[in-house]
Amino acid sequence: LEDGFVASNGPKDKLLGGLLPAGFHEGTCLSRYQSASYRKASPHLLSHYLSRRLRKYEALHRRCGPNTALYNKTIEQLKNRHNNGTAGCNYVVWIPFSGLGNRMLTLASAFLYALLTNRVLLIHPDASMRDLFCEPFPHTSWLLPSDFPMKGFPKFSRTNPRCYGKMLRRKASANSSDDAAAQRPPATVYLYLFHDYDDFDMHFFCEDDQQFLRKIPWLVIESDNYFAPSLFSIPSYEEELSRLFPKRDTVFHHLGRYLFHPTNTVWDMITRYYQAYLAKAKERVGIQIRIFNRGSPFMHMLDQILACSLRENLLPDVNLKEPIVSTTNKVVSKAVLVTCLHSEVYEKMKTMYYEHPAVTGEIVGVYQPSHEEVQQTKEETHNKKAWAEIYLLSLTDVLVTSAWSTFGYVAQGLGGLKPWILIRSENMTMPDPPCRRALSMDPCFHNPPTCSCNGKRDVDKVLVSYVRHCEDLSSGLKLV
Ligand code: GDP
């Protein structure tokens, strides 16, 4: 065992080697402590320092969380729209946006930012998030209370005067360095970190701007991107990040396993499905299919998946000519878990292994829990299925994912798996190769900043040894 890392005490180590806190009532969130019975122990070591910092964060959250005296004090500032810098607790409020995969990635990024800046993370839940995740921090809540004074909050729009990019734009056009906003920091600032953000919004990732943001008690983050990798290029966080994550590519793996525990309803779906279809197999293969362009033919997708699986030895080919008769009682040796909004590829694949034997003699079972047809991000039941399927994918031994999909990124991160990524096809032709092994299990930041930080350094030029362009999107960045 390397210095500074925590040893996990085998597969039944309920607290995952010090990642999870003790002190929860087990029955309120069965998945938190039962997951160890479904997952292999993570081979990715956790640093002692991360474990200690998480406990410290939990204490901070208890001290400053909703309805505490310190929280009530900062709420006063918010109501008065006045930042007197004395309240003692600072917050990051996370706003949900886009599909579940995107949400989980931005939430984990916001939590990392909260850890780095000693802020308390609160989430602004909408109805679609109901009954998906257990509370991650003991004896407190991460939900913004329903009586939260939203009136004091900036409208979540980049045209709002409290949007950080807008503040910088105004300052640039006034061409003045003594802008009032810079002199008297407001009580709230809204950070617009979407894929279409501009150079001003991107300044969030610059050192000087971080110094300014430290003075703001309430930061509101809205994003559809896994922005954690670019926090590594902000000089004042470099050292802390290297202590938290000596192995950089474990950021989402550890934070995701720490934060995201399915509620009992979702856990029931996961465990029932797992026991029924996956538990007995010798090997579980996950295939995550995300078809962004409904026009792309399903047959083409099936061909690509088969080409990838055969080439990489993930699935056996079938013998089209003759039956293979065996007298032994075979058990299911491979269970293939397909997830997709549609069922065509699954039907074809299942039929293929039904009509023909595998050349290896293996028994291959193909299963797909649901086919919802359309994305319905506002639907509670739809999101529960999405979460259950992301989790089931993360329990597989071998994973094939679709390029650009955050749904697949979350599964690979939670599972600690380096997936084979199905390369996006150009002009409906079969990509060559059909899939590529991911460099690391950490998700891709699709739209990293490209601005220059006050002439000091271009944030996108900071390609250090542990940040690379993504396998599935060359303009993206990921931790490796
Ligand atoms: P991305 O769009 O692929 O990056 O992933 P997101 O999770 O952010 O958004 C896609 C959304 O579509 C999911 O959250 C689900 O609501 C739905 N969806 C996509 N693929 C699947 C699937 O395989 N199973 C289920 N149940 N839902 C899916």
CA–CA distance, 401 with 337 (Å, rounded to integer) = 12
Could you give the ipTM of this predicted complex? 0.99
Q: How far is CA 13 from CA 9, 10, 39, 186, in A?
A: 5, 6, 11, 46
CA–CA distance, 132 with 305 (Å, rounded to integer) = 30
pLDDT in tens, the chain (480 residues): 555 666 555 546 889 999 999 989 999 999 999 999 999 889 998 999 999 999 999 999 999 999 999 999 888 877 777 777 666 899 999 999 999 999 999 999 999 999 999 999 999 988 888 899 999 999 999 999 988 886 656 567 888 888 999 999 998 888 655 444 455 788 889 999 999 999 999 999 999 999 999 999 999 999 999 999 999 999 999 999 999 999 999 999 999 999 999 999 999 999 999 999 999 999 999 999 998 876 667 778 999 999 999 999 999 999 988 776 665 666 669 999 999 999 999 999 999 999 999 999 999 999 999 999 999 988 889 999 999 999 999 999 999 999 999 999 999 999 999 999 999 887 778 899 999 999 999 999 999 999 888 766 555 555 568 999 999 999 999 999
Q: Is the pTM of this model over 0.90?
A: yes
Closest ligand 1 atom to 409 CA: 4
Q: How far is the CA of 412 from the centre of ligand 1 (A)?
A: 14
The strand pairing partners of 437, in sequence order, are 420
Q: Where are the domains of the chain?
A: 5-259, 264-479
CA–CA distance, 416 with 278 (Å, rounded to integer) = 18
* Residue position matching structure tokens 């390369």: 423
Closest ligand 1 atom to 370 CA: 26
Q: How far is the CA of 390 from the centre of ligand 1 (A)?
A: 9
Quote the tokens at residue 398.
């071998």
Instruction: Write out the DSSP string of 415-475.
Output: HT--PEEEPPPSTTPPPSSSEEE-S-SSPEESS----BSTTS-BGGG---TTEEE-SS-TT
CATH assignment, 264-479? 3.40.50.11350
For 19, other C-beta atoms within 10 Å of its C-beta total: 19
User: From start to end of 244-315, where are the E strands?
Assistant: 283-288
- The reply to whether ligand 1 has any atom less than 6 angstroms from the CB of 100 is yes
Residue type, 472: D
Q: How far is the CA of 382 from the centre of ligand 1 (A)?
A: 9
